[in-house]
Amino acid sequence: MQLQDLLYGVAIKSLVGKPNQEVKALAFDSREVKAGTLFFAVKGTVVDGHQYIAQTVAAGAVVVICETMPAKVDSQVTYVEVESSSAALGMVASNFYGNPSAQLKLVGVTGTNGKTTIATLLYQLFRGLGYGVGLVSTVQNHINDTIVPATHTTPNPIALNQLLADMVDAGCEYCFMEVSSHAVVQHRIVGLTFTGGIFSNITHDHLDFHHTFDNYLKAKKEFFDGLPKNAFALTNADDKNGMVMLQNTKAHKKTYALKQMADFKAKIIENKFSGLHLNVDDMDVYFKMVGSFNAYNLLAAYATAILLEQDRLKVLTVLSSLHGAEGRFDYIVSKQGIIGIVDYAHTPDAVQNVLSTIANIRKGTEQVITVIGCGGDRDRTKRPVMAQTACDWSDKVILTSDNPRTEEPQAIIAEMEKGVSPTNQRKTLSITDRKEAIKTACHLAKPGDIILVAGKGHEKYQEIKGVRHHFDDKEVLNEQFNLIN
Ligand SMILES: CC(=O)N[C@H]1[C@@H](OP(=O)(O)OP(=O)(O)OC[C@H]2O[C@@H](n3ccc(=O)[nH]c3=O)[C@H](O)[C@@H]2O)O[C@H](CO)[C@@H](O)[C@@H]1O[C@H](C)C(=O)N[C@@H](C)C(=O)N[C@H](CCC(=O)O)C(=O)O
Ligand SMILES: Nc1ncnc2c1ncn2[C@@H]1O[C@H](COP(=O)(O)OP(=O)(O)OP(=O)(O)O)[C@@H](O)[C@H]1O
Ligand SMILES: N[C@H](CCC[C@H](N)C(=O)O)C(=O)O
Ligand SMILES: [Mg+2]
């Protein structure tokens, strides 16, 4: 493709070299550059991609997009100076793949918790309604029924636009995708045309990356600020910051809520282990999903389908049969009657939601045993809070490892222990080995008791010092349940 066409929509500060070049491939990683590549020099959190410019030219790069021109330039290469290489990457990647997002009805979901659940429900719903649909999510991506493994919640612009182009080629009409706050800040969604945006909620997470809650809020809001005026912006009016998201959007403002006045309303009639009984827009419906937080997710999916002009009855019929995403309130019962729940709760709010859901629907005599850890190389301030929340809502808590990544597991657990009050210490144990921790919970449980294994949900690995070892919470629980039966 010609460079001039690729630069459509990119704000150029200066250009050195031929204004046109034939570009065969795009890369933001020097290690992937080959002959005919356009290389983006991106300033990252670890290194500055500008230091690899000469190396990429030697490897065959024909165009370099950068924020600072290199001191020495190669006469065969075109250098384009821009304000933000990562924003240019978003725009150029869209152009390179023929702007696939504009050929789909693309709906983005943002918020601290619930993105995967809402996007997955919408994907399953629209498949159930008979459409060609794509999904971009933390658990996995989908092109109709084909699964494409996920590396991030929101992939980088090259992978993302390639995925969207494959969806267009496969005849997809809709795509539902998660928009993480990292993706907004790193411009992974620049250049995409959205038909709608959904906000779930915002609570404590990712302060390692955003530093302040206000920056985190601004990142989420930026997604709505960028929506076009013919799109819809759907927010949770019950969330303290729900209306903030819509303050500066040009899109049609719509709300959903269980408590406040809203365009789309639902009421919880019953919340049991077998599912939710809701009144949605004056219709009584039973759903298979559990927990009041899932009433929000179901309502957000319903409202989106109505905004996308789907038939109300058909929508509720399909939604009522869905289970949502893997590893979210995923539960199994042992032959002895011990209930094991695997849930991806990895923020204080999610831990509180899942445990209060259990508290609301338990009969009262059984114990709740929580096995929980916190991820390494992630927000450290949430560690004591998650441990404290787990203790406040459980009869026994086993603190353990999640994905320690490059950190020492014991050091992470020690930070969690700081949140355990003296009165809660007697019900808390620390067991670093996650398998041992789950095993111990199973041995402590009596028939009727509930074991919550929180934090890793669908994940099939445990990342320790850069290596991903096979690990599956549900598999371990199943194994233990079979052994003790
Ligand atoms: C903190 C973060 O978001 N990091 C992402 C970021 O990497 P980075 O800024 O650290 O990059 P860097 O290593 O400093 O390198 C800077 C530049 O130099 C380039 N480089 C580097 C080395 C080299 O030899 N040659 C070279 O060209 C790199 O390709 C990059 O372009 O850009 C990379 C390329 O797109 C991402 O893979 C990487 O995601 C890392 C792996 C990650 O773990 N990200 C997580 C935190 C994340 O993005 N999570 C969110 C959501 C979480 C949620 O769901 O709540 C997500 O959307 O997944
Ligand atoms: N609407 C909601 N409100 C609060 N908590 C929720 C909600 N939906 C799900 N949760 C909790 O958050 C956990 C993660 O849910 P989900 O995977 O849908 O969120 P996510 O926003 O995609 O997370 P991530 O940022 O890691 O991609 C669930 O396992 C559950 O404990
Ligand atoms: N998308 C989230 C997932 C956290 C899941 C948890 N298991 C962990 O590893 O911290 C993140 O990257 O922060
Ligand atoms: Mg997700």
pLDDT at 364: 79
Query: To test ligand 3's pocket by mutation, which of 178, 346, 349 has the most ligand atoms within 8 angstroms of CB?
Result: 346
User: What mean pLDDT comes out for the span 335-340?
Assistant: 94
- The Cα–Cα gap between 113 and 106 comes to 20
The string of pLDDT tens digits covering residues 369-419 is: 999 999 999 999 999 999 999 999 999 999 999 999 999 999 999 999 999
pTM of the model: 0.95
Binding residues for ATP: 111-117
Query: To test ligand 2's pocket by mutation, which of 110, 112, 113 has the most ligand atoms within 8 angstroms of CB?
Result: 113
The string of pLDDT tens digits covering residues 80-120 is: 999 999 999 999 999 999 999 999 999 999 999 999 999 99
Q: What is the mean pLDDT of the chain?
A: 96
Query: To test ligand 3's pocket by mutation, which of 117, 186, 216, 378 has the most ligand atoms within 8 angstroms of CB?
Result: 378
Distance from Cα 453 to the centre of ligand 2, integer Å: 15
Distance from Cα 44 to the centre of ligand 1, integer Å: 7
Tokens of 339: 């209930």
Binding residues: 30, 111-117, 153-154, 180, 186, 188, 378, 402-405, 455, 459
User: What mean pLDDT comes out for the span 181-203?
Assistant: 97
The string of pLDDT tens digits covering residues 113-136 is: 999 999 999 999 999 999 999 999
Residue located nearest, by CA, to atom 8 of ligand 1: 44
Residue located nearest, by CA, to atom 44 of ligand 1: 152
On the question of pLDDT at 485 being above 60, the answer is no
Of all ligands present, the nearest one to the C-alpha of 378 is: 3
pLDDT at 273: 86
Q: Is the CB of 354 under 6 A from ligand 2?
A: yes
The string of pLDDT tens digits covering residues 432-472 is: 999 999 999 999 999 999 999 999 999 999 999 999 999 99
pLDDT at 392: 96
Distance from Cα 371 to the centre of ligand 3, integer Å: 16
Task: Give 13's Cβ-side CA count (13 Å radius).
Answer: 12
Distance from Cα 476 to the centre of ligand 2, integer Å: 22
Residue located nearest, by CA, to atom 29 of ligand 2: 344
Q: Is the CB of 138 under 6 A from ligand 2?
A: yes
Q: Is the CB of 403 under 6 A from ligand 2?
A: no
Q: Is the CB of 100 under 6 A from ligand 2?
A: no
pLDDT at 484: 60
Work out the pLDDT band at 361, boundaries 50, 70, 90. confident
ipTM of the complex: 0.96
Of all ligands present, the nearest one to the C-alpha of 379 is: 3
Query: To test ligand 2's pocket by mutation, which of 208, 234, 290, 344 has the most ligand atoms within 8 angstroms of CB?
Result: 344
Q: Is the CB of 456 under 6 A from ligand 3?
A: yes
Ligand 1 pocket, Cβ-based, cut-off 6 angstroms: 28-31, 42, 44-47, 49, 52, 138, 152-154, 156, 180, 182-183
